[in-house]
A and B are shown apart, each in its own frame.
Chain A
Amino acid sequence: MTDTLLLDVRGLDGGYEPLQIFRKIDLSLVQGASVGLFGPNGHGKTTFLKTLSGIIDPWDGDIFFDGVQLNRPGARGSRRWRNFNYDAITRRRMDPKAVARAGLIHVPQGNLLFPDMTVAETLSIAPYASRGRANAAETLDKVFRLFPRVHERLSHKVRFLSGGERQMVAIGVGLMAAPKLLILDEPTLGLSPKLRGELASAIQTIRGSGVPLIVVDQDIAFLEELIDTLYLFDHGRISRRIEKADMPTHEEIMKLMFGEDHH
C-alpha cells in the first residue's frame, strides 16, 4: 500500500449477525483530505462507521490506517451453526480500543455519553485514547476556545445538557482524544437551525486546524464546504464517488439516489 493514504478500507463486509448490512465497501482517504458520506437513512452508514471503529466486528475485508493494519488479517471464520457461541472460541478481528489509540476517533450519532458524569469528568477520561500523543491541558484549552458553552457547563451532569450542548461535549471529547482522523456521524442531527450553524462553523474550524474528517450528514451544502470527496451510500454499497470539482447540487443528488425529481 502507498504511504500517502491515511485510511484505506478494502472490500469491507459487515452487519449484525446473521444480517449483512453493507458489502464490499472500498473507501480511501489521502493524507490531509476529508470525505463525506451521504445517503438515505437506514442504508448502513452508521453500521459501516461502527465497524470502522471496531464496535462491530467486520466479516471480511481489511482496514489500513496510517500505515498499520487495524484488523487481524484473514477472513472471519465460518459461522455455520447459528446456535453455537462462536464468540467464546474466536478472537475478534478488530479491537475498538486499539482503533481509538491509533488515532481513529469516532463521535457516534446521537451520542448520549455518560449521563451521570459531569462534563469535566467526561472530558477527563477522554485522553485515554491519546495517551502519549497529545498534551491534555493544551487540547482542553482548544476545546474551550472552540465551544465556550462547554466551559460554562463544566460542573453540570451530561444528562442535564441540551442536545446541542451534548453534541458539543461529544465533539470536544473526540478532540481530547487527539484524532488523526475524526469520524462525525450526523453531528447536526435534530438541532435547531441556530445551533446547527454554530456547530457547523465549529466543525469548519476543526477542519481548518488540520484534522481530517469523515462526516455523515444530510446537508449537502454543509458537506461541500468541508470535504474533498463525497461517497454516495446506497443499500449498503458505495454507489458513487464524487470529487469536489464536480460536486453536484442537492437536486442532482436526489436524482442520482432516487432516480426522480423531488420538486
Chain B
Amino acid sequence: MTLETLNLILLGGIVLGALYALMATGLALVWTTLGIFNFAHGTFIALGAYIAWQIASTEASGAGLLAGATVSIIGMFVIGMLIYYLLIKPFERSPDIVVKSVITTLAGATILENVINLVWGPRNKQLSPLLGGDMSLLGITISRNEMAVVALALVILAALGVFLQRAPLGRAMRAVAQNREAAQLMGIDVERLYAIAFGLSAALAALAGILIGSTRFMNPSMGSDPLMKALIVVIFGGIARFTGPIYAAFIVGLLEAVMTYLVGLYWSPTVLFAIMIVVLVAKPEGLFGRYRKSV
C-alpha cells in the first residue's frame, strides 16, 4: 500500500465518518430525549434530499442548492414534528411505547418511501455539488465538494453541541431526557420539547440527505443503508455523551474505508459487524459510554 493509497482511504473514511456522524447524532437525539428508536430516520434522509432536489435542480424548480437546502431543512423540521404528533404522541403514556414506536415508525418509513417513489419515481437523481473543482491535499487530489461536506457536518455538529450545552432550550432538552417527571415539575413543556427534538433530528437527517445527494446518487431507498450504519454507530459509541456517536462515526467510517480496500465491498459490513460485536462484548455500554439508558 503506497502512502497515496493510504491517504485516499483515510480521506474517504473521514467523508463517510462525517456523514455517519450527522445521521447518528440525529438518531441519538431522539433516542436519548424520547427513549425511542426512530426507524423513519432513513426515510427522513431520502425525503430531505428529494425536497432539496425539487427546489434546487434545474430539471425541477431550479432555484439553486442553497434555496433547496434551506427549504428542505426547514420543511423536514416541520414534517418531523408532524410525524411525532401522528406516530409517537398517541402512545406517549403507554408502558410499551418502545415496541409500539418501532411499529409506527417502521410504518411511517414505508409510507413515506412509497410517497417518494410515487412523486419522484425510482430513477437515480443527483444534487449539484456544494463546491466545484478539485484541490490537492497530502499529495492526493480530492474534490473540494467532499471537503465542504466534512467541514459543514463538523460545523453543524459543533453548533448542536453548543446549543445542547448552553441554550436554555437545549438544556431543557437534556433535562427532559434525564428525568421527565422532574422536568415537568419545573414547568417545562415536555410535549413541545419532544416535538422539537424530533424536528431537529429530522432536520439533521435532511442535511445528511442533501450531503449524500450531492456526493453520490439519490433514490427512494437511499436512507436504509445509512440508517443501519447510523444504528451501528450509535450502539458502538454509546449515547451517554453527545460526542460518543460522533467519535464512533469517524471510527466506523475509517474502518469501513479500510475494510473496503482490504476485503472488498461485499465483506466489509460483515467485518464491521464482527468488530462491533467484539466491542460490545468487552464494553456493553459502547466505546465511549459510561452507562446506557435502558430502552
Contact = CB atoms under 8 A, between A and B. Distances in A.
Contact of B90 (A88, A106, A125): A88
A97 B190 CA distance: 8
A126 B182 contact: no
Contact of A113 (B168, B179, B189): B179
A114 B183 CA distance: 9
Interface string A112-131: 11111100011011101111
Interface string B163-187: 0000010011011001101111111
Contact of B168 (A85, A101, A115, A124): A124
Contacts of A61: none
Contacts of A97: 184, 187-190
A111 B172 CA distance: 17
B171 A108 contact: no
Interface residues of B, number: 23
Interface residues of A, number: 32
B292 to A, nearest CB: 12
A113 to B, nearest CB: 6
A15 interface: no
Nearest to A105: B185
B94 A85 contact: yes
A173 interface: yes
- Interface of chain B: mostly helix, strand, loop or mixed: helix
A82 B204 CA distance: 40
A67 B189 CA distance: 23
27 contacts: A54-B184, A55-B181, A55-B185, A85-B90, A85-B94, A87-B90, A96-B185, A97-B189, A100-B184, A107-B185, A108-B181, A108-B182, A113-B179, A114-B178, A114-B179, A114-B182, A114-B183, A121-B171, A124-B171, A125-B171, A125-B183, A125-B188, A128-B168, A128-B186, A129-B187, A130-B187, A173-B186
Nearest to A98: B187
A177 interface: yes
Contacts of A88: 90-91
Given A85-B90, A87-B93, A125-B168, A101 B187 contact: yes
Given A85-B94, A125-B175, A96 B184 contact: yes
Contacts of A177: 186-187
A106 to B, nearest CB: 5
B174 A116 contact: yes
Given A114-B174, A114-B179, A115-B178, A126 B91 contact: no
Which 10 pairs across A and B sit closest by C-beta, in order of nearness? Answer: A129-B187, A100-B187, A88-B90, A114-B178, A96-B184, A128-B187, A101-B187, A97-B187, A87-B93, A114-B175
A87 B190 CA distance: 16
A156 to B, nearest CB: 15
Contacts, number: 77
B185 A100 contact: yes
Interface string A31-56: 00000000000000000000001110
B91 A85 contact: yes
Interface in B109-125: none
Given A85-B94, A116-B240, A177-B186, 16 more contacts: A97-B188, A106-B185, A108-B185, A113-B182, A114-B175, A114-B178, A115-B179, A117-B174, A124-B168, A125-B168, A125-B171, A125-B186, A125-B188, A126-B186, A129-B187, A173-B186
A68 to B, nearest CB: 15
Interface centre among A97, A107, A117, A126 (most CB of B within 10 A): A97
Nearest to B192: A97
Interface in A82-109: 85, 87-88, 96-97, 100-101, 105-108
Nearest to A17: B93
A128 B184 contact: no
B290 to A, nearest CB: 9
Most buried by B among A87, A96, A126: A96
A133 to B, nearest CB: 11
A87 B92 contact: yes
Contact of A128 (B90, B93, B172, B240): B172
Most buried by A among B182, B183, B188: B182
Contacts of B93: 87
B240 to A, nearest CB: 8
A129 B171 contact: no
Contacts of A130: 187
Contacts of B175: 114, 117, 122, 125
Interface in A53-73: 53-55
Contacts of A105: 185
B15 to A, nearest CB: 32
Contacts of B92: 87
A55 B184 contact: yes
Nearest to B168: A125
B238 to A, nearest CB: 13
A53 B185 contact: yes
Interface in A147-162: none
B182 A129 contact: no
